[in-house]
Structure 1
Amino acid sequence: MSRYQAYAEYKDSGVEWLGIYPSHWVLTRVKFESYVKARVGWHGLKSDDFTDEGPYLVTGSDFIGPVINWDNCYHCDQERYEQDPYIQLKEADLLITKDGTIGKVALASGLNGNATLNSGVFVVRPLSNSYTTRYYFWLLKSNVFTGFVDFNKTGSTIVHLYQDTFVNFKYAMPSFAEQEKIANFLDHETAKIDLLIEKQQGLIALLKEKRQAVISHAVTKGLNPNAQMKDSGVEWLGVVPEHWTLKNYRYATKIYRGKFGHRPRNDPALYDGNYPFIQTGDVAQAGKHILNYKQTLNDRGAAVSQKFPAGTLVMAIAANIGDTAILDFEAYAPDSVVGFKPYENLDLEFLRYSLMAALPALEQTSTQSTQANLNIDRIGSVQAAFPLIDEQLEIVSKLDSLIERYGQIEEKALIAIECMQERRTALISAAVTGKIDVRGWQA
């Protein structure tokens, strides 16, 4: 914040979440400046009240950044809309969620018809022309407001922002002209930061695509650009080096499925023993090797599960199908996981990269009932290409090096995003509390 000047004089607010504020600002509360209403009591709408047309019915899930996504809003009939005139929305109304993820804020802009609220959302509107909701939006996005919420929910396990609590939120309010200046400043400066964050997120997405493309090319085309090629006759493989062998996975590796049957999935009588129990989440979070686990089985649980030896390549075949990792210890696994033990002359890590490249082909074979699912027969029926063991090891070494490099770039991008998000938060809080003076700012 060193590039911005402070105000000349400050006062101590005596408020834990606010601290000092510019001496010419006014210390006030929401209830002195704002009309705050929500849908209450028997006016609460149920799923049967939602319609495909009619007045908009806004919920917290319709908040997309600073605005309402009108295209995805539910609707209600006119009678329900007219039931509660206090929550009939107007252009530029400020909305804030009070249940679930509390404190999400959006402006009702671009309103092109009648709209009302479902339960879980407050509408906040100035009682007079004392403030602009654009400034209030940024105030409620600041650490000042989140500090107030945290202070008031200490010790409570229920995530709920009560109206009596919210209207007593104490803050310092500048003049209307300063509010507009602060809102313009934050609109402009946060948009610049958001664009930089978006670019870093785009870089991460490109890295993921690049990683998949590099793996796919290496395990289907090899590393020698001058190698003689042949048509594999397999869609996902295309042409492959002439000297590579084509075979189904069932002939390249032993495939066996986890199990955990004939019991309630969360039966406590089977857990908390001496046997490590890995699940799809452990595979997804592992990276290349599974080193940790969150759950264990006792003797009864182990008796109804499948044991995988150390050195097994495991794959999730439900939920996030295709996630793979190498198990570094003996463990049990449920039926949402399969294990692979390569036959002779197949490197375990090459097999892992091969399965990663084959994921689109594996997904095509998965069942699509309630969710994607694979089974041993479907995996085993997919055909892949395999070089001799020395070439497999060379490919693994090259891919390990490239994946590590991509991982380092991704890590730097994630750190950059975190830093920019912190700067964004700090800038908002500094501006709405008067820690920086932006009256002379110009875009």
Structure 2
Amino acid sequence: MSDKYQGFVQSPVGKLLVKNLGLPNPTPLERYTEGAPLVDGTVLVGGRGRLAESLPGLLDLLGIASSQAAAEGETFKGLVFDATGLTGSADLHALRDFFTPVLRSLDTCPRVVVLGTPPESVEGGERVAQRALEGFTRSLGKEIGHGGTVQLAYVAEGAEAASASTLAFLLSPKSAYVSGQVVRIGATGTTKAVEVTDWQRPLEGKVALVTGASRGIGEQIARVLHRDGATVVGVDVPQAASELQALMRELDGDHLTLDITGKDAPQRIAHHLKEKHGGVDVVVHNAGITRDKKLANMAEDRWDSVLAVNLIAPERITRELLDQGVVNENGRIVGVASIAGIAGNVGQTNYAASKAGVIGLVDSLAGEMKDGITINAVAPGFIITQMTAAVPFATREVGQRMNAMSQGGLPVDVAETIAWYANPGSTAVNGNVVRVCGQMMLGA
């Protein structure tokens, strides 16, 4: 599906109306294509702190060109600022000193990353300064324009070397529709770094389970994980069997048709993964449904079915896989939440409760994970799919424009975020909820 408005404003008439009426003029976003470099340009590195000395080496490991000084007339594809050395409110002036002179030197669709220390791990003035970074990055994300993104990554002490996979994601077109987000590295669980032997195919030899895999976002998740080297095991309901089988044949994967809400579904999934694949490395709880009604008119079956598919099934499947030891060492569990679970939505009390519950599942299990296993979630905003194409025009336009990028996202944007979580190098990324919403103006 395409954004018809975005196509219109690129036309001669559309450009004229944008100029004279001040209409939204979304920049076409750059997205990653297989085999392309992570960053097509130079990243300027600045700041002082625990990561300053290692940053150029980390970027070089990823094949990203970096500079520590800005020459006159030079342009940059990205900016990385090490703010871990800011220990008091007065030190925040360093943000203006670094960013103001170079913001007009950015290419289209630039990436900005600020690195800080988790505020909860420090005290006094340092805690104040580090917490201030959230307001700074979220505001800059709404200012930057031109398809740019701004993120804050809190890196726990000792996790400096474990930040490579996160930098690779946040500085590349893979994070095209992710902005204004706060990521914590090493704050929950391990701080160790895991070596990635092939950054083009980091999931080589891994097995990935994707529920709701036959179409839409689930299909794109399967495709991206396959691109990164994984053997994908797609799961969907029997009614979608033909589509699921066709996709898995194309991806040289495996499939399992069942209703994930079935009483024996967790046991069947666990048995299949153990017997056919010897375990699983990545589990993506993507399957989801909506049954919208205002609560005053909500029938019992509408409430129960949404909670059963979106939340109770992921809970039961996760617990079964962990209890049976089916999730391999350094494995990944990823839930698909929603911006509705954060900001709420009219007519979606059931859906919002289920998606907020997915976030609760991450919160409840993150501290329990062992053997390098992580659990995280994505929270998509307005993603252009066949389902959203059926939304009334006015509602659809509001949903697509009410974000810093003035456009909807694509299923691949959700998939790329999940692939970052799935990366073996993301062992220190645990307990996070990242919103794939173009930095929505409300709730993000």
TM-score, normalization by structure 1: 0.23
Instruction: Kindly indicate which of the two structures has a greater share of residues assigned to strand.
Output: 1
TM-score, normalization by structure 2: 0.22
Kindly name which structure, 1 or 2, has the bigger radius of gyration based on alpha carbons. 1
